[in-house]
Amino acid sequence: MKIQFVGVGAAIKTIYHGASTVVNDHILVDTPPAINMLLKKHKLHIDTIFITHMHGDHLAGLPFWLLEKYVEADFDEVNIYGPPGLEAKIRKYFEVTFTDLDIVKYPIIEAAKFHTVEPGKSVELPGLSVTPVEGRHAITSYGYIFRDDNTSVYFSGDTELSESVLQAIDASHCMVIEGTKKDGKLDTHITLEELLPVVRSYPGKVFYITHRQDYDISDLFEYNLHFPEEGEAFTIETY
Ligand SMILES: [Zn+2]
Q: Give residue-wise pLDDT tens across range 5-60.
A: 999 999 999 999 999 999 999 999 999 999 999 999 999 999 999 999 999 999 99
Which residues are 114's β-sheet partners?
A: 80
74-78 — which CB contacts under 8 Å span 24+ positions? Answer: 74/111, 75/111, 76/47, 77/47, 77/113, 78/46, 78/47, 78/48, 78/49, 78/111, 78/112, 78/113
Which residues are 145's β-sheet partners?
A: 131, 154
**CA gap 167, 146 in Å, rounded:** 14
| Span from the CA of 72 to the centroid of ligand 1 (angstroms) | 30
What spatial distance separates the first Cα and last Cα of the chain, rounded to whole Å? 13
**Cβ proximity of 69 and 96 under 8 Å:** no
Q: Give residue-wise pLDDT tens across range 52-87.
A: 999 999 999 999 999 999 989 888 899 999 999 999
- Is the CATH number of domain 2-235 3.60.15.10? yes
| Span from the CA of 158 to the centroid of ligand 1 (angstroms) | 5
| Span from the CA of 105 to the centroid of ligand 1 (angstroms) | 32
| Span from the CA of 209 to the centroid of ligand 1 (angstroms) | 15
